[in-house]
Amino acid sequence: MAGRNLPLISKKELSAHATEKSCWVSLYNRKVYDITSFLDEHPGGPEVILEHAGKDITKALADPDSHVHSESAYEMLDDGMQVGYLATAEEESELLARHKGMHVSPEDTSAERYDSVPIDSTGMKTVDLTDFGEIPDDLVHLKTDAEQDFKKYKFLDLDKPLLMQVLRAHWTKAFYLDQIHRPRHYGKGSAQIFGNFLEPISLTPWWIIPTLWLPVNFYIFYQGVTHLSPIVSIPLWLLGLFVWTLIEYCMHRFLFHLDTYLPDNQYAFTLHFLMHGVHHFLPMDRMRLVMPPALFVVLCTPFYKLVFAVFPYYVACCAFAGGFLGYILYDMTHYALHHAKLPKCFKTIKTSHLEHHYKNYKLAFGVTSTFWDWVFGTLIKPEDVYQKTV
């Protein structure tokens, strides 16, 4: 953003932008951002941001009791969202009062030079701000700058098809795992995985899941419940639903996060990327938050065959229908945790899952429930921030 002049903004003006139609915030009581366009994309939902609209969010970002943000979260602010600099009390009285609409430049910021600063082509004085204290490079940006991100990390160029980049790269396992778990926000729809006619198979709207699978689920349950008494069929259905929560936890922890045991080669990285890595890389991609039907069939088939091989047919129908419904609720819940405004009763689940993405991917594997995290000791605590290594 070198060379770009931006206005000094008073606290009164900042506080006036505190609605869904115009939402501004400041960071470090200095940089002012217009984040209106990001409200619907915020992982915690727009209501989390709107609580701080028109205010400084520095403490809120670091508050472990409200919405903890890791280093990855601080890599989410884009310079394109900055609209100005928050004026100090002295600047408001000494500068804004005398130079309405005054603009400042980010290059040279010594407060002692106010009386001798140059006048730009608009007739306004320009003041530089960096001497007011070091502002870290890792700020919360709302949309990843694909070019700058690639230059900085030499990982993936978001503006090019991703799959072949993973397949052709020569990364170490440590580098791949570190980078794939640093969330990026593409901000322009869905980044391309294939970049050709195969692209549509990687995109699944959330509504596909209930539309496609609920009728199948009800048919299977109908087969069982009409041949067994409710005293038998309902407990079997509930048992299947409960068993699903354990399957969900185990698959997420031991299959999708097969990180420690991942072979150290690009073919393994590519499979990991397609299975779950892309979701951690781009966690707010609306079209990649539920499981593509083809992948579900592949993963579900072994469970289907096992259940129907072990139990009598109608018993298996009831139990499998319960587990099947558990999966449907899981996928819909997963989408909602990322993009829906949920009642307060979902706060614990939502916080846990978002912290899995933005705080420590090695903990908090439950999505529809934190029960198994509690059982197996993988609940996430305030101090459990995963330290990035690259």
Residue ranges of the binding site: 42, 69, 252, 257, 276, 279-280, 334, 338, 353, 356-357
Residues making up the annotated binding site for heme are: 42, 69
CA angle 251, 255, 258 (to 5 degrees): 140
Q: Are 86 and 30 in contact (CB under 8 A)?
A: yes
DSSP-derived secondary structure for 71-85:
TTGGG-B-GGGEEEE
> Closest by alpha carbon to 321, among 241, 230, 208, 248?
241
Give me 315's structure tokens. Answer: 């018993």
| CA 346 to chain centroid | 17
Cα(42)–Cα(233) distance, rounded to whole angstroms? 42
Q: Are 45 and 68 in contact (CB under 8 A)?
A: no
Q: Are 133 and 115 in contact (CB under 8 A)?
A: no
Task: Describe the crossing of helices 293-310 and 313-339 by its angle, rounded to 10 degrees.
Answer: 150
Cα(238)–Cα(102) distance, rounded to whole angstroms? 66
Cα(247)–Cα(227) distance, rounded to whole angstroms? 27
Residue at token pair 């400042």: 104
Other CB atoms within 10 A of residue 262 CB: 16
The answer to whether the Cα torsion of 107, 113, 118, 124 is positive or negative is positive
Residues making up the annotated binding site for Zn(2+) are: 252, 257, 276, 279-280, 334, 338, 353, 356-357
Helix residue ranges per DSSP H, the chain = 11-16, 46-50, 58-62, 89-91, 146-153, 162-168, 173-180, 208-225, 230-250, 266-272, 278-281, 293-310, 313-339, 347-358, 371-376
β-bridge partners, 295: none
